[in-house]
Chains A and B, each alone.
Chain A
Amino acid sequence: MDKQELMQRLKEQIIKQLKLEGTKPESIGDHDPLFVEGLGLDSIDALELIVLLQQEYKIKLNNAEQGQEVFRSVSTMADFIMERQAKQV
């Protein structure tokens, strides 16, 4: 799966996991901020994103600070997942 496909899949998973009713995958920009601006996610949503990574990609964050970088945008999430998956191979 290339990065574009992964980002599309992530957008669909984020909408479902966070119950973002009325939000379409195409309305989420690859580099849009996920928190405060952009999607306006909150701290509980951050926990749900951690759950999403563990459930769907079997990836655990090493520390809370890492989350700020990883969850900056769909693009940074995709980069993180691809990096971790490359290490697992």
Chain B
Amino acid sequence: MSSEGQLNITKSVIIRNNSIYVDGNIIYEYFKNDNFLNDSYESLDNNYPKFYKMDVLGKLGMLATHLLLKDSDIENHLPSDVGIVLSNSNSSLDADIRYFDSVKSFPSPALFVYTLPNIVTGEISIRYKLKGENAFFISQQFDADWLHFYISHLFQNNKINACIGGWIESIDSDHDVCLFLTERKERKNGINFTPENLNNIYGLGVDVSNIKH
């Protein structure tokens, strides 16, 4: 029996246009222009001092994952059973540019360590003590078909029982994040894990309970 039919998207988080949505419902809006990431973190989480040292991708990943796993029972999964599969189009370009700028005066080790896109998967793993399969893919745009294929493959091969997946992009302080939690079991308001539903979540940030199963 295919495992795919048993997979459900049990929660989603969108960060876009200085606003944050959980399961399609707006939970935070920011009307200033100076420090969306730090201010939203201080309003919504504020329990991880290392946050301030991270690059933009790391901060977005921390913020979105905190909201994704909040009130979930992710700790019931073995650490090795929770995967992380992320993607974006600009890789670590934002951190690369900042590091390049620092080289002109004095190269910053703290910036250098973020000059790879998959560092954010490591940061999430460290904070939430996750040890499952992880990957970071580069694609021109949010690729629901590929994310669905790869994550399904991990489930079908019994590599994972839950997965944090999605898209984390930021360039010139323009953030575009769509994270979703995929699990084997059904949850209240959960929807089937399909490319169509991933596109619906990414495109609209809608309440998953409003999407037809």
A55 touches B106 (CB 8 A): yes
**Binary contact readout B98-114 vs A (1 if CB under 8 angstroms, 0 otherwise):** 00000000111110010
Task: Choose among B49, B52, B53, B106 the residue that contacts A51 (Cβ–Cβ < 8 A).
Answer: B106
Count of chain A to chain B residue pairs whose CB atoms are closer than 8 Å in the complex:
28
Q: What is the CB-to-nearest-CB distance from B108 to chain A, in angstroms, rounded to a whole number?
A: 7
Q: Give the contact-size bracket for chain A.
A: 10 to 19
Chain A residues 48-62 with CB under 8 Å of chain B are: 48, 51, 54-55
Chain A residues 7-26 with CB under 8 Å of chain B are: 18-22
**Binary contact readout A60-78 vs B (1 if CB under 8 angstroms, 0 otherwise):** 0000000000000000000
Q: How far is the CA of A3 from the CA of B113 in the complex (A)?
A: 33
B113 touches A44 (CB 8 A): yes
A1 interfacial contact with B, CB 8 Å: no
B53 touches A19 (CB 8 A): yes
Closest to A52 in B: B106
Question: What 5 pairs between A and B have smallest CB-CB spacing?
Answer: A47-B109, A21-B52, A19-B52, A19-B53, A55-B106
16 more contacts with CB within 8 A, not counting A21-B49, A40-B49, are: A19-B53, A21-B38, A21-B52, A22-B49, A44-B109, A44-B110, A45-B110, A47-B109, A48-B108, A48-B109, A48-B110, A51-B107, A51-B108, A51-B109, A54-B106, A55-B106
Contacts A/B (CB < 8 Å), 18 sampled: A18-B53, A18-B110, A19-B52, A19-B53, A19-B110, A20-B49, A20-B52, A21-B38, A22-B49, A40-B49, A44-B53, A44-B110, A44-B113, A47-B110, A48-B108, A48-B110, A51-B106, A51-B109
